[in-house]
Amino acid sequence: MYYIHRMKIIYLCIALLMGISLLAQQPKQLQLFPQGTVFHQNIPYANDTSQKHLLDIYLPPDAKGNLPLVVWIHGGAWMLNDKYADMGYMKQTVKSFIDSGYALASINYRYSTDSVFPAQIRDCNTAIEFLYQHAGQYHIDRNKIAVIGFSAGGHLASLLALSNNNHVPAFSTSPVHFTVKTCLDFYGPADFIMFASNPDTAVNNQPDPLTLLLGASPVDRPDLAKRASPVTYIDKNDPPFLIVQGEKDQSVPNTQSKLLHSWLNLNGVKNDLIIVPNAPHYGEMFDAEYIRKKAFEYLREALR
């Protein structure tokens, strides 16, 4: 049993610590990447001028031909951070994408404080469809696309990968042509209905991140909670999943990842679950070599 108001406080604290926007620290951010990395910054992907509809592309030096693409979806309780978030504590993973010959795209999406769900998943679909349609321009193989997400971004990455073959009209504003080949989900919520077990009914309880995302609490609108839950869309045709979460995550209970793992197993979808011993909700413990090795096994298998 856990409490949503507690989840809100933890989300706000970790977002400020891990994801203070690095937009003003652009040169420092680029230091995470190998020397010579080609950087395309602030590409508008939705035919408007919104800062939340921008993406960046990072390419290996002297890239030849079209490269498999990994799309990075940041965390921040659906209401904080930007496309540079989470990279700071995943330094070796970030560097390894470029060293291993992958293109990396990192995307912004609208905050729940500005637009309720499904705005966020629409933005993710729009951004990846833009990358698909402009693949040749940026040396991307549009038939080899993977997603990676952290916390709220893990939720969006999972939802995107699992709903990709369900053609959910509400999740995109135009036809989607791309296919997600694999998903790397780092501590993303998977089943919002589980949060409806929260016993806190205090009248003055401030809106929590999930209520802000949905526009209503899961207990009041279980239909919305189900609609936004990645597990709702699991079927036998889904792509492989690597799921990673901390044993002592106090923000997203690790039962969320265990449920996702179990549902994927029941549907015959290849997946692995790594519960990181003693790890909290985020941090350098997730940049460990053994996790990185498993992640790149998934990428090589799916994008070969």
Contacts with 293 (C-beta within 8 Å, 6 or more apart), sequence order = none
* Beta-sheet pairing, 241-246 with 180-186: parallel
End-to-end CA distance of the chain: 42
Helix (H) / strand (E) element for 223: namely: helix 222-227
Examine residue 118 and say whether the peptide bond preceding it is cis (omega within 30 degrees of 0).
Answer: yes
CA 109 – CA 213 distance, rounded (Å): 13
Q: What is the pLDDT of residue 304?
A: 86
Question: Tens digit of pLDDT for each residue in 158-182?
Answer: 999 999 999 899 999 999 999 999 9
Q: Per-residue pLDDT averaged across 135-146, rounded?
A: 97
Q: How confident is the model at residue 3 (pLDDT cuts 50, 70, 90)?
A: very low
> Longest Cα pair distance anywhere in the chain, in angstroms?
60
pLDDT attached to residue 62? 86
Amino acid code (one letter) for 162: L
Structurally, how many domains does the chain consist of? 1
pLDDT, residue 25, reads: 45
Higher pLDDT among residues 165 and 22, named by residue: 165
Average pLDDT over residues 200-229: 84
DSSP state of 149: E
What range does the domain containing 51 cover? Answer: 4-303
Give, as one character, the DSSP assignment of residue 270: -
Q: Which CATH number goes with the domain that contains 212? A: 3.40.50.1820
